[in-house]
Amino acid sequence: MVVRKNSNRRVAWASAFSIVALLAAQPVLAAGYIVKFKQGTEGFQQALFSKSMNGAQIVDKHESGNLVLVDFGKSNQRETAKRLAEIMINPDVQYVVENKKVHAFQMPNDPETAKQWSIAKVRAADAWNKGVGSREVVVAVTDTGVDYSHGDIKDNMWKNKKEIAGNKIDDDNNGFVDDIYGYDFNGNDADPKDETGSQNPGHGTHCAGILGAVGDNGKGITGMSQKISIMASRFLGADGSGDLMGAVKSIDYATDNGANVISASWGAAVSATEAQPITEAISRANDKGVIFVAAASNDGKNNDGFEVYPANTPLPNVITVAASNSSDGKPSWSNYGIGKVSLSAPGDAIYSTLPGEKYGNLSGTSMATPLVSGLVGLMLSHNPNLKPTEVKALLQASGSKVAIETACECRVDAAAVVDRIKAEELTIVPQAATINPNATLQFSAFGGKAPFKFASSADTIASIDASGLLTAKGTGEVNVTVTDANNKINQSLRVRVIEPGSDGGDGGGGGGGTEECPLDPQMCEMLCQFQPDLPWCKK
């Protein structure tokens, strides 16, 4: 009996403030197993009101995702495998994955480098001449929490106006009691305050300051959006780690409670199969028009051939961010990728807030991510009707060209993107893409004057019809142009048509299909002994 499984077993969910954490990550034991039930099944309804299933204790439930977390306690591996196999063949069960550990990507803190070079680099001051943001825009920091009492952050904290603090009643009936600033899915309480430790200098608070420290208040620093509402959705603990179930809950909390943008400075080197609960939560955010900004990770690898999530999530609302330095180069530790990474932003030696009225420097794609999240918030303050695909296209079309391998080979430019929005400058959406032969991709236009005409630079590679639907034919690269009624023209960046799996990269790894076993290889072998008909088992 052989098992088809993923050979890349480096797993470490990590908050993207540390190059060290992910590079040093080793496989960790699952903190239980997440069972995903099919929508509307009787089995899930029974699980919601049960304390156990198939000999395992149900230790957590998440109704939005049809998920339950089970723990087999002190059962040996063979007994656990037998019970898991029974769960997997239940017709109401969609899949089972390990509840992986999540960690932060931390780099050394240099408190002497107290310069916000990143703000000048992206020309933020020129952008602020046209507006400094709006507290009507909500950005959720899914992280180690936020020091919401910090003097440079507190006035920009999101507050749940429908909840009465301290009365121990769920006043707004959202399922959470006294969630004033957000919620803590690590400690399972209503206090999402950042807790520092040896592995966490205050990562979430640092990210919050980058995206939304209060501007023009006579103290400390200013965020990319000087006015904004920061929601704290904590799932990473004082040791910089959390788990997959907590990550899913933190995303869904933000989505369900009014966030416009979710900032995710964390991730793990796992397959698409193992990351399914995360990608499904991001899909629910996409359905509500919520923009998800993800860190590319700090391995120094090409994400086009290296599996890391949520960075590689193939959904239209995802903007994946690489880091740039003060010279517009790529730090050696930043991940990159033409197909999987959207753009770059300053992330090296970034000065920001830390818990306890402190400030300091951290580096990583973690720091680049909240800068983009704050900039997206600034964009939405000018035009709250922007769609996620339009936001990404506008950022890429207006970005400054740099020699960092991303879809646009660009670094964000705050002044240029705000100017583009205010002028409603004709912009083709999407700006860049990678698709497979015979796939289709819908193009549209932001700004300009209808009707629009679309054209492809090479019909033999990809043709496009009058509605903007592009159909890939042969492999290669094309540019798509849109012309409006005033004969204004905008041309896309490269649209690549490549064979599946041909991107290469330096990390290996496959696509994470449904035939891949989502659990530990040894556990997969045992499962096939009990249930040889499971899809990844081969005789």
Residues annotated as catalytic are: 143, 203, 366
Ordered DSSP codes for 21-70? HHHT------SSEEEEEPTT-HHHHHHHT-SEETTEEEEEEEGGGTEEEE
Distance CA 281, CA 287 (A): 10
Residue labelled with tokens 């991940």 = 335
| Paired strand residues for 264 | 142, 294
Tokens coding 12: 């470490």
Tokens coding 2: 């052989």
Contacts of 218 (CB under 8 A, 6+ apart): none
CB atoms within 10 A of CB 135: 18
Max CA separation in the chain (angstroms): 71
Coil/strand/helix, residue 309 = strand
Tokens coding 35: 């069972």
Distance CA 455, CA 208 (A): 42
Query: What is the 8-class DSSP label of residue 298?
Result: S
Distance CA 494, CA 414 (A): 22
| Paired strand residues for 285 | none
Distance CA 15, CA 265 (A): 5
CB 240 within 8 A of CB 106: yes
- Among residues 60, 204, 87, the alpha carbon closest in space to that of 146 is found at 204
Coil/strand/helix, residue 433 = strand
Contacts of 251 (CB under 8 A, 6+ apart): 142, 233, 262, 264, 278, 281, 282, 284, 285, 292
Residue type for position 286:
N
CB 327 within 8 A of CB 289: no
Query: What is the 8-class DSSP label of residue 68?
Result: E
Coil/strand/helix, residue 436 = coil
CB 297 within 8 A of CB 369: no
CB 99 within 8 A of CB 33: yes
Distance CA 516, CA 510 (A): 10
Phi-psi sector, 194: left (phi>0), alpha (psi -120 to 50), beta: beta
